[in-house]
Structure 1
Amino acid sequence: MSEGHGEYEEYEPHGRKVPVLGPAVIWLTPGTLHGYGSDARGWSEHWVLFEGESFAAFEASGLGGHHRPVQALARPVDDADEIFDQLREAVGAVGPRAEIAASVATQRLLLAILDAADPVEGTTDGASVIDLVSRDATRPLSVAARAAAVGLSTRELGVLVRAATGLTVNDFVIEVRIARAQSLLAETALDVGQIAAQVGYDDAAYFSRIFHRRAGAAPSAFRRQQSRGQIDENHPSRAESIPENPMI
């Protein structure tokens, strides 16, 4: 969304509302009941549907995904209109060349978003704080330690995280961990214990309970759903379309 104001609302797995102020990116993920829209003045937007390793890597970076559905940008995305023109041309064609062109344009868009999201050097704005907390989410830190790591009080950090994500600091950390676990379950052959350790849980049984509560399925069941490419009521499969072949 390049300009305008509005709101993103998430109904399940837990209710939250996050204000949207352009320029910004809204990340919509499978299995999340949501709604979003502009205020009475309207807004200017582009959208693209894609999946695959590029998105998994982007989400793992903490810069977008289920744990952070609204990402504020420091400035509009460079060459957005040109990139989307390329995407429209690519998805309007057929064949391997068109699929590659669509993938390249999508990755170019992700890089442009990364560039637009870079905070101004020397500042500690809300977006950069959220990025730092997200990147440290798998570390076993208290809320006070997370706040100290970004130079804020516990209360200040809580206010920033709530404003950006609609969640408490602890809930945000859990969301980041579960999102990374979902990517690992879908994209690797690591066992549940290994994945638990990678996302910050020493106890695999405890991790499995948290994962089930947040994702609506046990880790093993989630992996089966992804590998079969099935769609169930809670988790529409990401295998519905060609990986990294975007629709706009």
Structure 2
Amino acid sequence: MTKTFYRYLPVADRDRDWGLFVTTIGESRINPGTPYPPATHPGTHHFQPRQGRVLDEYQIIYISAGTGWFQSELTRRVKIVAGMVILLFPEVRHAYAPTTSVGWNEHWIGFNGETARRLMAKGFFTPGRPILPAGEEQRLLGLFDDALATTRRNPPALQQLLAGSVFNLLAMLYSGEKSGFVGESPGLGAIQEAANLMRQHPEMDVSIPQLAEKFKVGYRWFRRAFTHHTGLSPHQYLLDVRLARARELLAQTTLTTKEVAAQAGFKDEHYFSRLFHAKVGAAPGEWRERARRGLRA
């Protein structure tokens, strides 16, 4: 017996212009002994597991229960268990199925568009690594449930709402992959605590090696893991936090440039002014006037 809900969605020009559009969304509970794929699959997406298929879209497939297998022309056959996500890529032949004696629960969303292709081209996800951990499964399942509920309601701008769901799903998967790089506490905890400390106290007088020592991790590991986790080196992250604090003080207070520099963590007013101009494109005083005109407007 199979319990299935799915929709295949029309795509308008405005949906393509949005940059990301959804082609299909659904969920199935495949019970033990049930043929797979279900006979209700449309011809454009139907396949025989032995031959596989090639799609012209991306798909996120989350397996919330059961076991099975997956393989593609780029990867060997691997076992799939509950808590795994399969990411399918266009023009890559693949095949997958639940274990006949066990079955599985699958939740999927298909998508495409210029923004999706750009994310993949930048290497955020690659067809050579199509199997990802679900990470926080309750949140992931909640995102699928919300997207399915939205699809059932069929509100105006459904495609744009579902595009937001896809972005959230991809962000969760990417975050989970990055978290897996640094591992569990104390590794991941050290990175998170260090970033929180920088955001809360940008004025602190501390070097990056001292931060690593504070959180009892090696400097080289800390720098590499922090960069992998945030996309910025610890030094650049702290500079960006300090500049953000400086912009906030310039816009919301009457402090002098020297006082702003000190409270944002810069010891040298002249270095601060040069760096601010280089990064923001205007001197602190000029930026303050622009910001205040914008606030008054």
TM-score range, shorter chain: 0.3 to 0.5
TM-score for both structures, normalised by structure 1:
0.44
TM-score (norm 2): 0.38
Q: Which has the larger radius of gyration?
A: 2
Instruction: Point out the structure with the larger strand share.
Output: 2
Which protein has greater RCO, CA pairs closer than 8 Å, 6+ apart?
1
